[in-house]
Structure 1
Amino acid sequence: MPAALSDRYTGCCSCRRHRGASVVTAPDVAAPRTGPSPKPGFRPDIQGLRAIAVMLVVLFHSGVAALSGGYVGVDVFFVISGFLITTHLLETLERDGRISFSSFYAKRARRILPAALLVAALTLVAAWIWMSPLLMRKVVDGAIATALYGPNYFFALQDTDYLAETTPSVYQHYWSLGIEEQFYLFWPALLAVGFWLCRRREQRVMALIAVVTALSFLACVVLMNISQPWAFFSLPTRAWELGAGGLVAFLLRSGARWLHSRFTGLLAWAGLAGLAMVALTFDGATVFPGWVAALPVLATAAMIIGGAAPGPLNATRLLGLAPLQFLGAISYSLYLVHWPLQVIPQAATFSDAPLPLEQRLALGAVAVPLAWLLYRCVERPVIGWRVLRQRRQWLTGLVAAGASFAVVVSSGAVAAVSAQQPLSTDRTAAPATATLDPAGTSFVPANIAPSLDAVAEDNPAVYGTGCHTSTYDSDPAGCRVGDSPEAPLVFLVGDSHAASWFPALETLAKEGRIRLDSNSKSSCLPLDTEQQYLAKEYTSCEQWRDGVLERIDDEQPDLVLLAMYDSPDRLQEEPGTPTHTQWQQGLAATLEQIDGPRVAVMKDVPTQARNPDECLSTHLEEAQACAVPREQAFKESLVEAEDQAIEEAGDEAARVDLTRYFCNAQTCPLVIGNTVVFRDTHHLTETFSRQMAEPLWKEIEPLVG
C-alpha cells in the first residue's frame, strides 16, 4: 500500500525544528546548485497519475480481463512515493542543513497509520463475521503482521504467489505499505549521511543514490531466479522502484536545460502510452517483478518528468480532469478498502472460484464512496489534529504504538474465540461404507473423518513420498506397489485426479489383487493435445506423457487406467476447434498410442461448488446445504467427448463410472456416513478414496481377468 498516496504536496512541506529532536546535520560548506529550484506547489498531474494507478489496481482486482497487468499500479505508486519523499527531504536538507527524524516520522505516522490501522481492525471484524472459522488463523496472522509493519515478509515466508493465489489473505494488499514503511526507515538517513559525506553536493549524492538503486534492481533480477516471493515482497528487491522516483527528484532539481523545453512535456504522453501498454499486455504469467518491472517504473518516471515541463504539450490538462483529481485525492483510502471488499465476499462463498464479474465490479464501485468517507472522516482530519501536531513528536509515536498494540490484542482475542468454535455437532454417524445412491449425512458428525481442520491436508501418500510428479519435472519413472507375481499389472496414469485414486488402488495392491504402477503429474492431462499451465505452454507435460507411454509400450501391463480432471482450462486453445472436440481428439490419440494393453478411462468425480471444510464448518446442522446438485457436478460436454473417444476405440477401451457411489438422484453429498468425501472442490480425501477400493475392484476385475 503506497504510503505517500495521501501526500498532497510535491515535497514542499516544511520540516519544523523541535526541541530535543534527533537530527543529522550536513556541513555548512555548500556548493550551490546550477539552475533554479522548481517552484513548490501542488501538481495536479501527479494527483491524476495517482488516480490512474489506483484505478489500474482496483479494476484488475475486480476482474477486468483487459487490464491483465493492472497490478503494476502499485509500482506506479512506489515511484510517486519515492519522488515526493525525496523532494521533500532534499528541500529540507537544502534549507536547514539537517533532517529532524522525529518530525519526519511523526508526520509519516499521522498520514499513514490512522486509515491503515482502522481498515485493518474493521477487516478483522468483518472476516470474523463472514468467513469460515477455519480461515481465521490465517486472518489473525495477517492482521498481526500488518500491525507490526512487516506484512511483506510475512507473505514472503509463506511463499505467497501474489499473481496466482486462489485464496489470498484479506491483508495481502498491505505488503506494499510494509515496503514503504521500511523504506522510510533508512532513506532519510541515507540522504542525510550522503549530504554530509558529499558536502551537500547534490550531483554526488545523486550518484550515490543511483548506485544503491542499481544494486537493488540487480538483487531483484537475480533473486527472481531463486525465489519469486522474496523478490516480490522484500524491501531490498523493491527499493529500487522508490529509488527511481528519488532519482527523478534529483533530476528535476538539477536545472538541466532540456527540462525547461516545452517538448519535454511529450515524455508524459510517452509514459502514459507505455503504462497503458504494460497494463494491457502483462498478465499473471509475466515473470514479475524481475527486469520487466522497469517498464512501468520508467513510464511513471517519464510522466513525472514530462508533467513538470512548461507549455501545453504535457499531460496536465488530461490528468487534471476533475474525476481524476477526486480519485487521486482518495486513492490511499481507496487502495485500503477495495481489497477486503473483494476478498471477504468471495471467501464467504466457500469456493476458490472468483465471484461473477458484475459482482466484483459492483464491489469495486462500492469501494469509492467508502474510501471517500475514510478520507474525509479519518485520513485528512487526523493529519491536522492539533493535539498531535503541537505536542512533542513522541506523543504521535506513543499513539501509533498504542493503536498497533490494540490491533494485535484484538487479533489475539479473535483467535482465541475462533479456536473455541465447534467444528462438529455432538451427534455421531455410522462408519461410512461404499453404497450406491448415498443419501449423505445431514449434519457434521462428532466422529467425522477426517476432522474438518484436517480435511485440506488429507492427501494421498504419493505427495509425501515423491511419487507424484511436480509441474516442473518430466521424469516418467513411476512408483510400484504390490509384489504378488501372479497379480495383474495396472498402470495408473493422469493428473492429480489420478493421484486421488492412488489410496484405493494401493489398498488393492497391498491385498495382492493387483500390482500398481502409479504415474501422476500435477495439472497434466493424459490427452495427446496441446496443454498449458499458468497460461504458458506446458512442455514438461508432453515430455512426461510421452515417457510414460513408452514405458507402457515396453512393459505391456494388463490394464492402463486413465483418470483426469475435466477442466477445459488445461487445454491450449486451437482456433476453430471447440473445446469438447479437442478433448475428444486428444483422448482418442492417446488411446491409439497404447498398443496391446486394455485401457479403462475413469469418469471424473463430481466437482463441488464450495470448499468442503469451510462450508461445513459454518453449516454443522445442515451439511446438505453444502452439497452440489448433481446436474451441476459434471461438465457433460467433456464427459460425452470421452464417451465418444472410448466408443471409437472399440473393445480395447472401456469406461469406469463410479458416479452412483458419489451422488444420488438429486445431489452429490460432501459427507457420506462419517467420512468427508472431498478435500477441496474436486479432489477426493485419502480417507474416502481408500473406502472406494472395493467398488473400484468390481469395475476393473473383469478388465484384468
Structure 2
Amino acid sequence: MNRVSTPPRPAARRLSPTRGQTGLHFRRDIEGLRAVAVIAVVLFHAGMPGLGGGFIGVDVFFVVSGFLITGLLWREAADTGTVRLARFYAARARRLLPAAVTVLVGTCAASVLLLPPLQARSVIGEGIASALYVGNYRLAIQDTDYLATDATPSPLQHYWSLGVEEQFYLLWPALIIATAWVLARVAARTGRSLTGSVAPYAAVLAVLAAVSFAVSVVLTDDSPSWAFFSLPTRAWELAVGGLVALTAGMWRQLPGPSAAVVGWGGLGLIAVTCTQVGSSTPFPGTAALLPVLGTALVIGAGCATPDLGVGRFLSQPTMRSIGRLSYSWYLWHWPTLLLAPVLFGGDIGLAGRLAMVVMSLGLAILTLHLVENPARFAESLKESDKRSLAVGGALTATAVGVCLVLLMIRPVPTGVGVAAAPVAVTAGAQKAPNAVAPQPMSVRDQLMVAVNESTEPRPVPENLTPPLGAVAKPEVFVNGCVLSWRDVQQPDCVSGDVASPTTVALVGDSHAAMWQPALEPIAQKKHWRLQTFSKVLCPLMELPINSPYLGRAFTECEQWRGDVLAQLAQQRPALVVIDMSRRYGADFGFVSYDRAWLDGLTRLVQQLKASGTDVLVLSQVPDPPSTVPTCVSGHMDDATACAPARTDGLNDAGIAAEAAATTVGGGHYFELSDLFCTGERCPVIVGNTLVFRDDNHITTEYATALAPLVAEQVEQALRRG
C-alpha cells in the first residue's frame, strides 16, 4: 500500500523527454486514484452490495507502487549509474513502518483481550509473520482462500499485500542496479552509453511481467492461494506500473481529448471489475488484467493531462484527502471490521459494518497526524539514512517482541475441572448397579451413557485429551494419503495386515479419512488389509461437481473418483466403507441430502455391489457452529458452552433418507448420531476426550474411542454380505 509521491527534481538536473521521467510535479490524480482503490477495498470488506470485486483495489495499489517506485529508481540509476539503497530503504522505513507497527501491535493486543486464547495466539503468530513481511507466504502455505465466505479470517490477513510490496522493494532496486551495471559494462566495451535509455529497463520489466503473468495464470488454476498471495504471481502487476513509468514520455504525447478517453476508459475498467468480479471468479489470473490495465490507462492518461479528464475528478480535494489517508485506512479497516462483532456480541449487520468503516477512517486520521507524518517528515530522521534504518529496525523488533510477550500473556489454556474418566468401552461391561440383575451392556449403550453424562454443565477437565495445544491431524492427513484440491493420483495407502486376502477399503472425502485411526487398530487385530482412498471435498457419488475454491468445474474430483471406482471394481475388496461431509451446498452443483445426492448414493452402492463388494455407509457426524478447540479455549469453565443443539448439528431427516437410499442399493448404513448427541445436545467433550479437532472433523482420540463399535459394524457387514 505504498504512497510514495513523485518529488520535484532540481532544475539543474533536467531530463530529456526520451528518458521517460514520470513527471516534474506531484501527481495529484494518483493521490485521488489511491482513494478509489481504498474505497473499493473497504466497502468490499464491509459487505456493500454490488461491490463483490472491490478487493481489486489492492491490484490498483500494486500498479501505482510499480509506477512510482520504478520511476524513482530509474531516474536515480539514469543519473548516477546506481541506486543509493540506504537512502531508498530509509525512506520506505519512515513511510511504512510506523503506521504498520502501530496497527499491528494494537490489533494483537485487542485480539488478546477479545478473542478466545487459541484464536488470539493464531493472530499473534500472524502478527509476527506480518512484522517480518512474510505473512503472505504464511497464508499461501496454509492454503488460505482470501475470498472464502465461510471461514473466519485473521484480523491481520490484509497485511499480505504489505508483504508483497516489501518483497517488491527488495527485488526492484536489485533489478534496476543489475540492469545499470550491465549497461555500464556494455558502454565500457563499445563506447556507446545507454545509461539514459529506458529501452533496456523496459525490456527487462516486459520479460519479468510476461513470466510472472504466465505463472499467475497457471497457479490461479492449480494453486489459488499461492497465486493470490505470492510476489512471483503479482510481480507482473507492479511491472505494468513500472512500464508506464518508463514510457511516460510516449504517454505525454497523447492529445488532450484522447488522453481523456483513455483515462475515463481506465477508470471504467476498474469500476466494471469491482462490480462484475466476485468470490467465484478465479483470481488473479486473467481476471486481474482488467483492473491492472485500467489503472495503467488512468496513470498513463495522467502523464499527458493530469488535471483534465479523469485527472480532474481524481484531483478533487475530497479524493486527495482520502488518498492521503489510504494507507492508514487500509491498515485499520480490517481489524476494526473483524473485531467489532466480537466486541458487540454478534453480527452487527451492514449498518454496523459501515459504522465501523467510518470509525476506522477516524483512526486513520489520527494515525496520519500522530504517527505517519511525524515519522515521515522528522528532520532528524530525514537527514540521516542510518538513523532512519535504525528506527525502522527498532520498530520491527518492537513489533516482534510485543507479540512474543503477548504469547506469554495468553498461553494455551489447560482444563480447570477435575479429571474426567476416559471414554473406554469394552465388550461385556455390566449395567448400572441399580439394575435388577447385572447384564452385559452393549458397546453402543456404553458410548451413549458417556455422551449423555457429558451434556451436564462442568468445567473443562484437567486431563482433556488431546490437550488444546496438541490437537493434531491424523497421520493419514499429512502423509499424502488425503489428496488436496488439485491432486488426482491416489498413492497406495495400505495398512493393517498388508498381506491379508481380506481387504477393507475406506473411501471418500476428508470425512472418510478421519475414521482411519479407528479402523487401523481393528485391521491389525483382525488381520484385514486396510486401503484408504481420500480426496478433500470430493464425495464418491458420480455427481457433476464444482469447486468453489478453484472457481470452476472440479475436474480433479471427477477424474479421481473415476479412477478409484475402476480400481475398486478390479480389486473387489471384501468391504468398502464410505463417508463424506454433508456440508455440500448449491455452489458445488448439488446439496447434501437432495434428490440428486440420494439417487447418486443408491447408484454408487448398487455399482459396488454389482462388482462383488459389500458396502457400509457411515452417517453424518454433527457440525459444530465454530472451530471447537478455539471455542473451548474461551469457555474453560463450561465444557458444554460450545455444544450445538442436536437440531443444529444434525439433519435427522436427511440421515433417515440416506439410510433408506443405502438400503435400496443393497448396502449397510451405520447410524452414528447417538454416539455424538443426545436428543437435545451434541457435546464436544465426552468424558475427557475432545470430540472435534476443528469445526467438522473428529479427533484421532475420539475416533479411537469409537473403534470397538466401528469394529462391530464392519464385522457385521462382512458377515451379512
TM over 0.5: yes
Query: CA 1:149/1:688 → structure 2, altered by over 3 Å: closer, same or farther?
Result: closer
1:306 equivalent among 282, 301, 304: 301
How do 1:562-581 residues align onto structure 2 when only pairs under 5 Å count? 562-569=578-585, 572-573=588-589, 580-581=594-595
Once the two structures are TM-superposed, the CA of residue 134 in structure 1 deviates from its matched residue by 3.0
**2: CA distance, partners of 1:89 / 1:551:** 59
Contact 2:305 2:311 in 1 (8 A): no
Give the Cα–Cα distance (whole angstroms) in 1 for the partners of residues 272 and 111 of structure 2: 36
Q: Contact conserved, 1:47 with 1:328, CA < 8 A, in 2?
A: yes
Q: What does 1:11-26 align with in structure 2 at a 5 Å threshold?
A: 11-13=6-8
Give the distance between the partners of 1:92 and 1:549, measured in 2 at CA: 64
2:157 aligns with 172
Measured at CA, do residues 474 and 356 of structure 1 come closer, stay the same or move farther in structure 2, by a change above 3 Å? farther
Q: Match of 2:311?
A: 316
The separation in 2 between residues aligned to 1:272 and 1:610, in whole angstroms, is 41
- Rounded to whole Å, the distance in 2 between the matches of 1:146 and 1:380 is 22
Q: 1:252 to 1:666 in 2, by over 3 A?
A: same
Asked whether the equivalents of residues 497 and 530 of structure 2 are also in contact (C-alpha less than 8 Å), the reply is no
Distance 1:488 1:237, change over 3 A: closer
Q: Could you tell me how far 1:679 is from its partner in structure 2?
A: 0.9
Partner in structure 2 of residue 541 of structure 1: 557
Q: Does 1:378 align with 2:363?
A: no
1:367 pairs with 2:355: no
Larger CA deviation: 214-223 vs 405-414: 214-223
Which residue of structure 2 lines up, in the alignment, with residue 629 of structure 1?
645
Residue 76 of structure 1 deviates from its aligned partner by 1.0
State the Cα distance separating 1:318 from its structure 2 match. 4.2
| CA separation of 1:594 and 1:323: change in aligned 2, threshold 3 A | farther
Residue type of the alignment partner of 1:55: I
Indicate the larger mover: 53-62 or 360-369.
Answer: 360-369
Correspondent of 1:588 among 571, 577, 602: 602
Q: Which residue of 1 aligns with 2:447?
A: 435
Rate the CA distance shift 1:280–1:94 in 2: closer, same or farther, 3 A.
same
For 1:555 and 1:157, how far apart are their aligned partners in 2? 36
Which secondary structure does the structure 2 equivalent of 1:655 belong to?
strand
What is the match of residue 250 of structure 1?
246
CA, structure 1 residues 63+653, in 2 after alignment: closer, same or farther (shift >3 Å)?
farther
1:454 and 2:470 are equivalent in the alignment = yes
Q: In the alignment, is residue 74 of structure 1 matched against residue 65 of structure 2?
A: no
Residue 114 of structure 1: aligned partner? 98
Contact 2:340 2:356 in 1 (8 A): no
CA deviation vs aligned residue, 1:41-60 (integer Å, no higher than 9, x gap): 45443233212211332234
Alignment correspondent of 1:21: none
Opposite residue 369 of structure 1, the aligned amino acid is G
2:414 maps to 1:423: yes
Stretch of structure 1 that moved more, 188-197 or 511-520:
188-197
Measured in 1, the distance between the counterparts of 2:606 and 2:313 equals 62
**SS of 1:623's equivalent?**
coil
Which has the larger displacement, 657-666 or 482-491? 482-491
Q: Match for 2:324 among 323, 329, 338?
A: 329
1:577-600 Cα shifts (integer Å, max 9, x gaps): 997233223223323433445544
Q: Distance in 1 between matches of 2:286 and 2:330?
A: 25
Deviations 1:405-450 (A, max 9, x none): 222221222233334x532226211111352142327322222211
Q: Secondary structure at the match of 2:423?
A: coil
Say which SS state the counterpart of residue 534 (structure 2) adopts. strand
Which residue in 2 is equivalent to 1:208?
200
Quickly say closer, same or farther: Cα 1:15–1:432, change in 2 above 3 A.
farther
Alignment of 1:375-524 (within 5 A): 375-389=368-382, 391-419=383-411, 421-425=412-416, 427-433=418-424, 434-436=446-448, 437-440=451-454, 442-455=458-471, 457-459=472-474, 461-475=475-489, 479-483=493-497, 490-512=504-526, 516-524=530-538
Answer yes or no: is the 8 Å Cα contact 1:265–1:309 preserved in 2. no
SS at match of 1:667: coil
Q: Secondary structure at the match of 1:205?
A: coil
Whole-angstrom CA distance in 2 between matches of 1:97 and 1:545: 59
The match for 1:3 is 2
Contact kept? 2:78, 2:195, Cα under 8 Å: no
* Per-residue Cα deviation, 1:323-369 (whole angstroms, up to 9, x for no partner): 54443232111111122234456899999xx9977765654454333
C-alpha separation between the residues in 2 aligned to 1:200 and 1:51?
44
Q: 1:682 Cα shift?
A: 0.8
Cα distance in 1, alignment partners of residues 389 and 684 from structure 2: 51
The farther-off stretch of 617-626 and 96-105 is 96-105
* Secondary structure of the structure 2 residue equivalent to 1:447: coil
List gaps (5 residues or longer) in structure 2.
Answer: 425-445
Alignment correspondent of 1:22: none
- Checking the alignment, whether the CA contact within 8 Å between 1:476 and 1:544 is kept in structure 2 is yes
Q: Against the structure 1 CA distance between its residues 31 and 545, is the aligned structure 2 distance closer, same or farther, given a 3 Å change threshold?
A: closer
**Structure 1 pair 140/636, CA: closer, same or farther in 2 (3 Å)?**
same
Question: Which has the higher mean CA deviation after the structures are superposed, 208-217 or 657-666?
Answer: 208-217
Q: What SS is found at the alignment partner of 1:626?
A: coil
Match among 102, 114, 130 for residue 146 of structure 1: 130
Shift of 1:230: 6.0
Residue 301 of structure 1 and its aligned partner are, at CA, apart by 0.7
Aligned counterpart, 2:441: none
Q: Equivalents in 2 of 1:355, 1:178: separation in Å? A: 30
Distance 1:190 1:549, change over 3 A: closer
Alignment equivalent of 2:675, drawn from 661, 686, 689: 661
Q: Is this contact kept in 2: 1:265–1:308, CA < 8 A?
A: no
Shift of 1:80: 1.3
The change in CA–CA distance for 1:79 and 1:348 in structure 2 (over 3 A counts) is same
Q: Which runs of structure 2 are paired with 1:181-330 in the superposition (5 Å)?
A: 181-184=166-169, 187=172, 194=180, 197=184, 205-221=197-213, 223-224=215-216, 225=218, 233=229, 235=231, 238-254=234-250, 257=253, 259-283=254-278, 288-289=283-284, 293-310=288-305, 314-320=309-315, 324-330=319-325
Deviation at 1:267, TM superposition (A): 0.9
Amino acid at match of 1:448: L
How far the C-alpha of 1:621 sits from its partner, in A, is 1.7
Alignment gaps of 5+ in structure 1: 17-25
The one-character-per-residue Cα deviations of 1:83-106 (angstroms, maximum 9, x if unpaired) are: 234445667789999977665544
- 1:677 counterpart = 2:677: no
Instruction: Give the match for residue 436 of structure 2.
Output: none
Give the structure 2 partner of residue 19 of structure 1. Answer: none
> What TM-score, normalized to structure 2?
0.81
**Aligned Cα root-mean-square deviation (Å):** 4.2
Aligned in 2, Cα 1:14/1:137: closer, same or farther, shift over 3 Å?
A: farther
- 1:236: how far off? 5.7
User: Within the alignment, does 1:695 sit opposite 2:686 as a pair?
Assistant: no
Letter aligned with residue 506 of structure 2: L
Q: 408-417 or 445-454, which moves further after superposition?
A: 408-417
CA–CA separation in structure 2 for the residues paired with 1:370 and 1:631: 43
> Aligned partners of 2:368, 2:249: CA distance in 1, in Å?
31
| 1:271 partner amino acid | G
Question: Identity of paired residues, percent?
Answer: 36
**1:686–1:347: structure 2 CA closer, same or farther, 3 Å change rule?**
farther
Q: Which residue of 1 aligns with 2:429?
A: none
194-203 or 409-418, larger mean C-alpha shift: 194-203
Q: How far does the alpha carbon of each residue in 1:251-295 deviate from its partner, in whole angstroms, 9 at most, with x for none? A: 3345753x2332221111221232234344545565554565444
Q: Is the 8 A contact 1:37 1:255 kept in 2?
A: no
CA displacement, residues 595-641 of structure 1 (integer Å, 9 cap, x when unaligned): 44554432200001121211222222211111111111024564355
Deviation per CA, 1:486-538, whole angstroms, max 9, x where unpaired?
Answer: 99764433211111222223333233286644333221112221112223212
Question: 1:497, 1:564 within 8 Å by CA — same for their partners in 2?
Answer: yes
* Counterpart-to-counterpart distance in 2, 1:119 and 1:594: 57
Return the offset for 1:161: 5.7
> In 1, Cα distance between the equivalents of 2:632 and 2:344?
12
Q: What secondary structure does 1:568 align onto?
A: coil
Q: Is the 8 A contact 1:147 1:404 kept in 2?
A: yes
Q: Does 1:529 align with 2:524?
A: no
